[in-house]
């Protein structure tokens, strides 16, 4: 147990520090540095292009699941792109059918894409279905959180503090599809939802790669290290 703790500690400390730095950077990027105007409470409204703070941890985690080496980085990068593009295709399909208040358009789109993606895994070993599903789900979740833009005709909320104020003024009429969380602060066109998630997930992959390399440099090399559990083993230098 003592050896296991000693070998895992460098990885835990590295991930903790990098996670702090990432969240600090991403939140300031979206709510202070790149914005569309003041919200009047010390925060700014995120621009259409912003970083989706939790999305980075999806690729960060998948990088370690796949081995935390060079090959894992390549697989995660490729399949993250596939997952995000697949989500964008779903949004385009939903935008075309616009079936509010019914959900069968979303369900049908997801079903068709799932079939195509799983079949695509028979073509190349580079197609990693778990990574695609994880990233696809992350993008779709953010699409829902930002108002499911495209699901309802004419439901877009103006992406500005003034648009939020107008939405708040009419809040007594009830929320509509297209209005994102926090009274519309997170309302985002579906194209930017996919782009923002992809960019953030790549940032997460970079931080994951950095955490593996840095922890490998500061982890003591002992005979016992060869028997350390899998999550710590993945942080060691790879020959891939």
Q: What is the pLDDT of residues 24-82, one digit of tens each?
A: 999 999 999 998 888 888 999 899 999 999 999 999 999 999 999 999 999 999 999 99
Q: Which of 173, 174, 103, 176 is nearest to 140 (CA)?
A: 103
- Four-residue CA torsion sign, 156, 162, 164, 170: negative
**Which residues, 6+ apart, have CB-to-CB distance to 183 below 8 Å?**
164, 167, 168, 171
**Which residues, 6+ apart, have CB-to-CB distance to 68 below 8 Å?**
208, 212, 234, 235, 238
Burial class (CB in 10 A: 0-12, 13-18, 19+), 196: buried
State phi, psi for 99 to the nearest 5 degrees: -110, 25
Q: What is the pLDDT of residues 46-58, one digit of tens each?
A: 999 999 999 999 9
Distance from the first to the final alpha carbon of the chain: 29
CA-to-CA distance for 220 and 235, rounded, in angstroms? 12
CA-to-CA distance for 223 and 239, rounded, in angstroms? 19
17-21, 30-34, 155-159, 207-211: least confident range: 155-159
């Amino acid at each position: 147990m003592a050896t296991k703790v000693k070998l895992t500690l460098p990885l835990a400390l590295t991930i903790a520090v990098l996670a702090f730095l990432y969240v600090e950077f991403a939140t300031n990027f979206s709510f202070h540095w790149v914005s569309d105007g003041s919200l009047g409470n010390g925060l700014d409204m995120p621009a259409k292009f912003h970083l989706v703070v939790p999305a980075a941890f999806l690729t960060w985690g998948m990088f370690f699941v796949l081995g935390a080496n060079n090959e894992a980085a390549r697989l995660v990068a490729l399949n993250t792109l596939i997952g995000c593009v697949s989500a964008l295709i779903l949004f385009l399909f939903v935008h075309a059918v616009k079936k509010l208040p019914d959900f069968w358009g979303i369900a049908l789109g997801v079903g068709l894409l799932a079939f195509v993606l799983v079949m695509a895994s028979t073509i190349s070993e580079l197609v990693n279905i778990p990574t695609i599903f994880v990233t696809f789900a992350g993008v779709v979740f953010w699409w829902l959180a930002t108002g499911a833009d495209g699901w309802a005709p004419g439901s877009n909320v103006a992406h500005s503090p003034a648009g939020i104020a107008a939405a708040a003024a009419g809040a007594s009429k009830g929320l509509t599809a297209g209005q994102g969380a926090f009274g519309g602060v997170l309302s985002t066109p579906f194209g930017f939802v996919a782009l923002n998630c992809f960019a953030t997930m790549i940032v997460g992959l970079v931080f994951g790669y950095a955490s593996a390399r840095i922890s490998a440099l500061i982890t003591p090399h002992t005979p016992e290290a060869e028997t350390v559990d899998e999550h710590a083993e993945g942080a060691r230098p790879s020959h891939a």
